Amino acid sequence: MNTMELAFAHGGAPLTARLRVSAEDFRVDEELGYGADGDGEHVFLTIEKRGLTTDEATQKIARFAGVKPVAIGIAGMKDRHAVTTQAVSVQLAGKVEPDWSALTSDSLRVVAHARHRRKLKRGALAGNRFELRLREVQGDRAQAECVLVAIAARGVPNHYGEQRFGRRGDNVEQALAMFRGARVERKLGAILLSAARSHLFNRVLDQRVRDSSWDRAIDGEVYCLAGSRSWFGPEAFDDALAARLASGDIHPSGPLWGRGELPSRSVSAALEQAQADAEPELVAGLLAAGLEQDRRPLRLIPRGFAWSWCDDDSLLLRFALPAGAYATTVVRELATTQ
């Protein structure tokens, strides 16, 4: 199942539009949730890049600073075809700090820098802020307004976006080949394992969208805490859980497949197991890889969701998402893009 086949939560995208006509149409600002310590052997950089992958940007920084790539730390990866800001740490133990203002080009510049005690770790971020411009917008604007209001109020299904499945969309097929014995590099292997897990999650979520339970509890539900990787349940659904679910403090969840018993029960477990049973090779490969059961929220509620129609037939969207969520998943409910 590719992302084009996934069900819509709000009736289908009423618009067509172009996204990323220019890098400036897709702006992303990383939210770490903390700042630099003020001292230490690492330098905490805030960089702005465009037209570069995060790997390409960090390679430039390492060469400029005269350090090995292992001395560089990041919290997350950012899009190439975008204007993005993010944090990068550079370990300079015993080295003279360079003049960061000299590291300036059309594709990369250092916005701020300060000393820090620790290397930035992958995943150590709160989320990202987005400003996206959809151009050459066509379609039913009245219906689009209804969808925009629904997204602001209810959120969207928290699908893994197409980026997770590779440029050619064949990461799941490559994962199957790997499980059948094909040799791959360690870094690629980790990517393929993530794609296999994501595919199974999307299958479960797609079924929950089709039966209108993606944003409500069903029997045997396990809940994810908003803004956290913690989850709990199942437990008897009561007024307190209902209030937390309605406020967005907790979300229904789906499985990230691995070893161990499903924590869900009853209707929820049966639905999840049925989707896993439809992909036995993927499940067997993930179990053999030693991954443990985990959970991901089924619902994604953008923070500060706002929009404005512009005179040039474009639509400007602003919102923030937690780490691991995809802006294209939000856009998908509103517009078919190219």
Q: Compute the 3-state secondary structure of the chain and give helix, strand, coil in percent, each to the nearest 5.
A: 35, 30, 40
User: For residue 256, which phi and psi values (nearest 5 degrees)?
Assistant: -105, 105
User: For residue 6, which phi and psi values (nearest 5 degrees)?
Assistant: -70, 145
Give the pLDDT confidence of 269-288 residue by residue, as tens digits.
999 999 999 999 999 999 99
pLDDT computed for residue 4 by the predictor: 79
pLDDT computed for residue 323 by the predictor: 92
DSSP-based three-state secondary structure for 111: strand
Q: Give residue for tokens 């080295």.
A: 95
Half-sphere exposure of 333 (CA within 13 A, CB side): 27
Closest CA to 128 of 325, 317, 334, 297: 325
**pTM beyond 0.85, yes or no:** yes
Question: Is the preceding omega at residue 297 within 30 degrees of 0, hence cis?
Answer: no
In which element (H, E) is residue 187 found?
Answer: helix 186-210
Distance separating alpha carbons of residues 137 and 159, to the nearest angstrom: 24
Q: Tokens in use for 121?
A: 């770790």
| Residues classed as catalytic | 79
Instruction: Note down pLDDT in tens along the chain; length 338 residues.
Output: 677 789 999 999 999 999 999 999 999 999 998 888 888 999 999 999 999 999 999 999 999 999 999 999 999 999 999 999 999 999 998 889 999 999 999 999 999 999 999 999 998 899 999 999 999 999 999 999 999 999 999 999 999 999 899 988 999 999 999 999 999 999 999 999 999 999 999 999 999 999 999 999 999 999 999 988 899 999 999 999 999 999 999 999 999 999 999 999 999 999 999 999 999 999 999 999 999 999 999 999 999 999 999 988 999 999 999 999 999 999 999 999 98
Residue 235 CB contacts under 8 Å (≥ 6 apart), including other chains = 241
Distance separating alpha carbons of residues 259 and 294, to the nearest angstrom: 9
pLDDT computed for residue 273 by the predictor: 98
Distance separating alpha carbons of residues 303 and 333, to the nearest angstrom: 16
Distance separating alpha carbons of residues 219 and 213, to the nearest angstrom: 11
Dihedral sign of CA atoms 140, 143, 144, 145 in order = positive
Residue 323 CB contacts under 8 Å (≥ 6 apart), including other chains = 76, 123, 125, 126, 127, 128
Dihedral sign of CA atoms 120, 126, 127, 131 in order = negative
